[in-house]
Amino acid sequence: MAETVKLTIDGKEVVAPKGMNLIEAAKLVGIEVPHYCYHPKLTIAGNCRMCLVDTGMPKLDKDKKPELGPDGKPVIMFAPKLAIGCNTTVAEGMVVHTRTPKVQKAREGVMEFLLINHPLDCPICDQAGECRLQEFSVDYGKGESRFVEEKVHKPKQTKLNAKITLDDERCILCSRCIRFMKEVAGQDCLGFVNRGSYSTLTCYPGQEPKTNYDLNIVDICPVGALTQTDFRFEQRVWFLKETKSVCPNCSTGCNTVLWSREGVVYRQTPRDNDAVNQCWMCDYGRLNFKFINDPTRLTSPSVKSAVYGERVNLTWLEATRQITGKLKAAGTIAGIASGRATTEELFLFKKLVGDLVDIVPHTGEADGKLLQADRNPNTAGAKLTGCATGKLPEILEGIKAGKVKTLIVLGEDLDEELAKKLELLVVIDTLPTKATEHANYVLPGTTFAEKRGTFINGKNRLQRFNAAIPPVGIARPEWQTLTALLGASYAAIEDVFADMARTLPALAGLNLSKIGDLGVELKIEQPAVQPVSQAAEAVAK
């Protein structure tokens, strides 16, 4: 148990762990101390001076005991000057005031100085709606400006790299981006040049941010100095709906927020989750969402006409009836599932297909921080539901040899010759691929943004994500499609999860609401499965 310290903030008693700074301690009792340069995951800079608070320690007499005043309470000696809250650690008996007139004047003064050279960009700045400068100016700053000189002009709208645009005039010189690039991203390329009012943020000459974590500086910049180039002027932030989600691009499963409006996703930002990704997200995952609103998305179930070779659209009822009829008549059914499918879908898929099922591995290079080599978000989920058997080479051989004639593919691609060899190929996918071109039946599915489900990440953490936008056309979430093919009667995804929780001991006692927004760590005994081999990877695409 960490040691704790008792102090008083604005008259409220706070019990804070030792070593905590005053901003965090005030947050424990719901008091906001405005700050710009302080960030809980970066080193302390102390250059913005916005978090100034009035601190006082009890007066000690000669025996080092607190001297008691006439009312029985310890006499507090307040420091002659205000102290910054981010760099002051809590101490026993400390008394902090955050609302006295002295603190108010200090905040107004700091705010005024920050605003004297700030450009009047609010109408065109993307940060409006999430701009700390605006918010703290209205809450803690003065209402009237006394500045009559001309503002300093600095380079505007420069490209820091292809993904980030830098506007130097808006920068308030908090140095969060500099500290982030140096400490977290690992590339020390940003810094301040010139002095005084002419201080400018630049990238060192000849360099540009080249890490996989550059776009995090857009998140932590409190003003609109650093903006994401492909989100510039797209949407005003207050029109967007925030949906909590999980990144499906690797097995880390960083917690994200999807920002969407009227069925279009505009950007992704990371969410705080100390167990998974602190508050960062890699660029690889962050930028990979444009496929959700791709115009070539599959919108309707279709069947390949045997006579004409064209695809004909079907209703769900027709498609389901035809497929279930054909599956009953077929012999051995094989299934290729995806590590990108949710746990519920894999559970239903296993029920539908049986033993001859496997997922397709996708790997890449791990970058040592958040991005893992395993690019499937739900490998652990596939293993848990029994879909990751390692039989992929066997299945593909079987198709080549003609032993396997019926194949159901869930969200993966398949080689052309293999597709042509099959008698019945049912593909459930979101975007057109070679498999959907040659499939007998194509059933449209939904991306991670359009359905509610769970992933189990590489560290066996069960995480839930929510639907942000409605599906495209008449596409349905895959669990509904698989329920229809199974002939089961799950009314909602909560029922699928409940069934899964009954069957799989690792999920006992959980339901979708209990998982919460931060996920739950599962205790899974690793079943004995063959690891996915290199040969399998080479054969599948």
Which positions touch another protein (CB under 8 A)? 32, 112, 115-116, 118, 120, 122-123, 128-130, 132-139, 141-145, 147, 237-242, 261-262, 517
What kind and span of H or E run contains 177?
helix 176-180
Residue 237 or 501: the one with the smaller Cβ distance to another protein is 237
- How far, CA to CA in Å, does 180 sit from each of 38, 41, 144, 216, 395? 12, 9, 34, 8, 47
Burial of 205 (0-12, 13-18, 19+ CB in 10 A): exposed
Residue 244 or 541: the one with the smaller Cβ distance to another protein is 244
Cβ 224 to another protein shortest distance, Å: 12
- How far, CA to CA in Å, does 282 sit from each of 132, 170, 456? 24, 25, 19
Burial of 388 (0-12, 13-18, 19+ CB in 10 A): buried
Residue 136 or 479: the one with the smaller Cβ distance to another protein is 136
Cβ 468 to another protein shortest distance, Å: 11
Residue 86 or 370: the one with the smaller Cβ distance to another protein is 86
Cβ 513 to another protein shortest distance, Å: 12
Closest CA to 243 of 219, 267, 223, 273: 267
Cβ 228 to another protein shortest distance, Å: 18
Instruction: State the Cα–Cα distance between residues 471 and 274, nearest whole angstrom.
Output: 31
Residue 263 or 390: the one with the smaller Cβ distance to another protein is 263
Residue 142 or 459: the one with the smaller Cβ distance to another protein is 142
Residue 146 or 195: the one with the smaller Cβ distance to another protein is 146
Cβ 233 to another protein shortest distance, Å: 17
Closest CA to 339 of 363, 355, 356: 363
Closest CA to 430 of 409, 416, 457, 452: 409
DSSP codes, 221-282: -SSTTEEEGGGTTT--GGGPEEEEEE--SSTT--EEEEEEETTEEEEEEE--BTTTTBT---
Torsion angle in degrees (nearest 10) through CA of 193, 196, 197, 202 = 10
Q: Which two tokens stand for residue 278?
A: 């602190």
Residue 242 or 521: the one with the smaller Cβ distance to another protein is 242
Cβ 67 to another protein shortest distance, Å: 37
Instruction: State the Cα–Cα distance between residues 228 and 127, nearest whole angstrom.
Output: 10
Residue 123 or 531: the one with the smaller Cβ distance to another protein is 123
Cβ 88 to another protein shortest distance, Å: 22
Q: Which two tokens stand for residue 31?
A: 């008091």
Q: Which two tokens stand for residue 372?
A: 């893992």
Cβ 261 to another protein shortest distance, Å: 4
Cβ 47 to another protein shortest distance, Å: 21
Residues forming a β-bridge with 166: 158, 226
Burial of 499 (0-12, 13-18, 19+ CB in 10 A): middle
Cβ 231 to another protein shortest distance, Å: 16
Residue 160 or 258: the one with the smaller Cβ distance to another protein is 258
